[in-house]
Structure formats: C-alpha cells, structure tokens
Amino acid sequence: MALSTLAVTPSLPPNSNLKTSSKKPTNSNSQKTQLLPLLKTCKSLTQFPQIHSLILKSGQTQSPHLLFVTLRLLSTLKSPHYASKLFATIEKPDIYHYTTLISTLTASGSYKEALNLYSQMLHRSVAPDPVIISSVLKLCGFLLALNEGKQIHNQVVKYGFALDRLVKMKLIELYGKCGRFEDALLVLDEMPKRDAVASTVLINSYSDCGRIDEAMAAFRAAFDKDTVCWTSIIDGCVRNGKYNLALDLFREMQKEKVRANEVTVVCVLSACAQLGALELGRWIESYINKYNITRNTFVCSALVDMYSKCGSLDEARKIFNEMKERDVISYNSMITGLSLHGKSSEAVQLYQELIREGLSPTHITFVGALNACSHGGLVDLGFEIFESMTKNYGLEPKVEHYGCIVDLLGRSGLLEEAYEFVSRMRIEPDHVIWGSLLGACRVHGNLSLAEKVAKIMTDDEKADSGTFVLLSNVYASLGKWKEAVRVRATMKHKGIQKEPGCSSIEVQNEIHEFLLGDIRHPRKEEIYKKLEDLNNVLKNEGYFPKRNEVLQDIEEGEKDWALAIHSERLAICYGLITTEKGTTIRVVKNLRVCRDCHEMIKIVSRVERRRIVVRDRNRFHHFEDGVCSCGGYW
C-alpha cells in the first residue's frame, strides 16, 4: 500500500471537550509563560483535564510551542488516545507536532496509526526531517512493512538525508528485520567506517532471524567493539541456544578488557542457567561485586534464576531474601526455582505473597505456580489458580498454561480427565500438550488412550520425533515389540530422528558433555573403570536393573549394559573421579531421567557419601544418603 493512500486524520469523538477557543486573550505571552511551568508539574492523566481547561480559557489552543509541550506531556503520560484528540484540533500542525504524536503512537504499539499519520503529513506537504524519518523507519521495522520502508528510503534520497547516520542505522535495522540482508549490507557499505553501533544493529538483526554464523561474521568485522556490541553478540548466542559460545565470547571480552554492564551479566547468567554452570555463575556474581555493577532487580532476578537452575536453591533464596526491592520478575524467578526443585508448597506460598504485596501476576507467574501444583500433585489448587487467571486478573490462558493442567492431571493418573480437558480447550492444542498426555499414558500403561492420542497427532500432522518415540516406548514397555518396530520404521521412512540423550557436568569451570555410551572423552578409560566398580558395588547393595526401561527387543544381558551406559551415569562417574570426596555432583540432562537411573543414583549417593543433584527435562532431583527429594513422584 502506497504511503500516499494511507492518510487517516484522527477524528474527534462526539461530545469531546477538546475545543478551539475563538476568544482573543489579553497578554497571551504572559499567560503562556504561566501555563508552561504548570504543564511541567503535571504527573498523572487525572491532573491534565484541569490544565487543559486553563489552556482553552487562555485562548492559546493554536500556540505551536504550547501544543508541542502538551503533546509531549501526553506522550510521557502514555495517553495516545488523548494526544490524538488534541492533535485533531490543531489547524496547522508542524513537523514537531507530527513527530511527537508518531512517537507516542509507536510507543503504545499503534504502528499502523502512526504510519497513517506520517502519510497524512506528506499529503499536507509538511516536509520530513531525519528525526521523523528515523521514527517511521523504526515502526516499519515493527510492522515488517518492507514496501513502505522502501518508499521511505526513496524519500531519504529525495530529501538529502542519505548521509544522516541515524537514518542509516534505521534502514539497516528495517532491512534486517525484514530479512533483506543484502540491502542492509549495501547501506552499511555506504558508511565510511563499519563502527560498533552499525555492526550492533546488524548483529541484532541476524540474531533475530536465527542466523548466528552471519551475526558472528558481522561482529568480527566490527571496529572498536564496545560493551553494547559485545553484549549484542552474547545475547544473540543465548537467544539462539549457543550457550557455550556465549560464555567463550564473554571470556574473550574480558581478555580484551571491555567492561561488562548490567545487560551483559544478565545474558551471561542466562547462559550459565541453561548449562547448569554453577561455578561460573558464582564467578559472575563476584565479577558483579568487584566492578560495582548495579544489583538492580533485573540483575538480582537473573542471579536467582541462575542459582535455581544450577541446582543451588539455598543461594537463590539468599539473593531473593536480601533484595531490598522486589518486582514481579523477581517473584517469578523464585517461584519458578522452587517449582523446579519440587518445593511445591513454598512456591505456592510465594505466589500468594506476591498477590498480598499488590503485584499483578503475569503469564510467567502462573506457569511457575501451576508447575508447582503439578510437581506436588495439587490438583484442586491447580485448577483454582488456573481459573483465577481470567476471573481475577483478566489474563487469557496460553497454551503453556493449558499444558500445565494436562501435566498436572497426567502425573496424577487422571488420564481420561486430562483427555476431556484437552478436548474442551479454548485454543488449539499443540504437539507439546498432546505429547504430555502421551507421556502420561506411557507412565501409567494406558495403551488404548495412547493410540488414540497418537492417531490425533499424526492425522493433524502435529507429530514430531517425540510423538513417535513416546508411542514406540509405550508399545515397548508393554512388550509389544512388533508395534514398537513398526513405529520406529515409520520414523525412519519419514526421516525423523530421535533426540539423543545428553548429560553435562561442570568441573573446574569447564562443561563436559556425555551421550549414551560415549567414548569421546579423553579420560574414557578412567570413566568406564569407575562405572565397572560402581556396578559391582550396586550388585552387593541389592540393586537389580529395571529392564523394562530398555525399550528395545534385545537379550537380558544386553539390556543391563544398555542401562549402565546412560549419559547421566557417565557424567556422574566423571564427577566422582575428578572432584574431592564430599563435593556435590551436579548433572544436567536434556531428557527425563529413567526410573532405573533414578534408583541407581540413590544408591550411589549413599555408597559414595555424595550429594548428587540431577536436573532433567522436568525438574531437579536431589539425591542424598539414598533418598531423592522427589519422593518417587516426578
């Protein structure tokens, strides 16, 4: 749609009190001088109507400067509707009035209205300047309005703004958001020097599109990389799941003697949280203290999240309890952490404290609280919290909230109720929700419902590798090997590959990863020797392998070996041979820990006198003296 056809003049609603006074005031300059300080004292929208009535009485309704200050105030007060009504009364709006209202509309998310207003400005022959051009290019990026952005690019050339640095930045950003990196690079190449700011814009655009290799290339090509540039590439790596690369870049940043800021450390803490890199996370906290980085709620919430996800709930609690100010993000981090560690009652109590403090819960708050109910088997309370989202807080549940309820019912063995709940959902269930129900069918051995769910998923083309693996596992666990083989053959025919199990452990600030039966590690001989020693000890302790956890039709002896080489066992063995006695071993696994490994780790924790913390896909397991914190319910 051409910009010239987008013109829409904001109309004044019926009975509006925004009127143009025809009264000629006396000593208007004096009155205007008195009104300007009054506008500066206005701190809320409830105060504005009184001031506006004084403006009407003064006859200054068409004073360009007074209108500009008034519009800017309404922008500060986040009132785009009132600002649009006021703008509609201006007889001859100038470039400053248009710029202010366009910025106000953009800030409120009214991108199309803002673009229409710019079209109206051109239609009224008001010439743009670089500031408004930059603002409109920014909102074109939000809208992914490539055609309109190209028209504005033509205007950039027409009005002689092609050398304006801010305009070029917004053009790079626009083309990057729209995936037109060839055009973005053409604009970048026109700049005399590829400085850190221009490169940062390009890095962000590549990262937003998941093109992290190109983002790295843009980063390497940048001159005079500053903190913002380094933070941008680290953040891009974190957002795209390249956590180890993010940590490597942070180390490189330190070698280059570039000081991190609050945003940088939050990004790095997020990478530590995902990898379970507790020691590195502790080092980041000491870095924060050493360089006096402000421990605001943003940073403290990231610390709480990191410590929780790295298995040190006590340290997370300490940070949270010491916070002088807490916002909803802080509470969300702690509620989620407690839930992950199976502290269901504490998580729910903290959720209730958040409510008592007068904070408004967010969608993330409810995910944390509902997960806590799921891990604790709190069915009635879970439904009560779920229903309060809409009833008390006007929040429409998203697919992840429905998923929490399905998980809650499935864990509790209420499979038919879970199926009925999914059937009545207000939104279309995705493969994660159906997969959750399918997983519960496997745990509780309900083959008929599992087949029904799998058929729904395959018919609707919602089945992924997890769907086929779960269905195959259901058959295998019930000894139906022909059916399990048929499902695996379907996977092979469709080119679907199973996600491999992977476990990682941090030793001396280095992450070591293990796959099933992994022989890549340089200390593999020592690891497997320790594994053999443990197997002998386990036999003496009365351990007997749960062979039904092996979902392949192989000999019994082969099943024992298949269980013995699970990735988490290899990671634990490496921890046992590389850390001092009495040291806590922390392992992160990408899949759900199997029941056989769960039983084995309980015995190892008692025999080796070690505290072993395992984070799997669902939650944390704290093994100590032969007991697990989950109580066998996970």
Residue carrying the six token digits 């990026």: 141
CA distance 634 to 619: 8
Q: What tokens appear for 573 in the block?
A: 């063995």
Q: Apex CA 556: angle with CA 552 and CA 559, to 5°?
A: 50
Cα 54 to Cα 18, 36, 60, 233, 249: the distances in Å are 12, 11, 9, 52, 58
Helix (H, G, I), strand (E, B) or coil at 613: strand
Q: Distance between CA atoms of 340 and 615, rounded to whole angstroms? A: 9
**115, 139 Cβ separation under 8 angstroms:** yes
Please state, as a whole number, how many other Cβ atoms lie within 10 Å of the Cβ of residue 584.
15
C-alpha–C-alpha distance, residues 27 and 594, integer Å: 84
DSSP class of residue 620? E
- Sign for the CA dihedral angle at 194, 200, 201, 205 comes to positive
How far the first Cα of the chain sits from its last, in Å, is 54
The residue length of the chain stands at 634
- What CA–CA distances, in Å, run from 566 to 550, 552, 593? 11, 14, 9
| Burial class of 506 by CB neighbour count within 10 A (0 to 12, 13 to 18, 19+) | buried
Q: Which residues make Cβ contacts (< 8 Å) with residue 85, sequence separation at least 6?
A: 10, 12, 13, 16, 18
Domain ranges, ordered by start, for the chain: 409-494, 502-628
Nearest to 365, CA basis, from 384, 347, 383: 347
Please classify residue 515 by burial: count the beta carbons closer than 10 Å to its beta carbon, then call 0-12 exposed, 13-18 middle and 19+ buried.
middle
Phi/psi of residue 400, nearest 5 degrees: -70, -30
**What is the per-residue pLDDT for 171?**
96
Q: What 8-state DSSP symbol labels residue 583? A: P
Quote the Cα angle for 319-320-323, to 5°: 85
Residues of the chain with pLDDT under 70: 1-36, 38-39, 43-45, 47, 50-52, 54-62, 194, 462-463, 547-561
Are 58 and 32 a contacting pair, CB within 8 Å?
yes
Sheet with 612-615, side-by-side order of all strands: 510-515, 502-507, 585-589, 612-615, 620-624, 627-628
Predicted local distance difference test score (pLDDT) of residue 560: 67
**pLDDT in the model for residue 470:** 76
Cα–Cα distance measured from residue 133 to residue 166, given in angstroms and rounded to the nearest whole number: 9
Question: What angle (nearest 5°) sits at the alpha carbon of residue 545, between those of residues 544 and 547?
Answer: 135
Number of continuous H segments (helices) and E segments (strands) in the chain:
32, 6
**What is the Cα–Cα distance from 57 to 59, expressed in whole angstroms?**
5
Q: Which of 462, 487, 463 is nearest to 473 (CA)?
A: 487
pLDDT in the model for residue 8: 37
Burial 330-353 (b: 16+ CB within 10 A, else e): bbbbbbbbbbbbbbbebbbebbee
Q: Is 612 helix (H, G, I), strand (E, B) or coil?
A: strand
Question: pLDDT at position 461, please?
Answer: 72
* Confidence (pLDDT) at 14: 36
CB 454 within 8 A of CB 467: yes
Give pTM, 2 decimals. Answer: 0.81
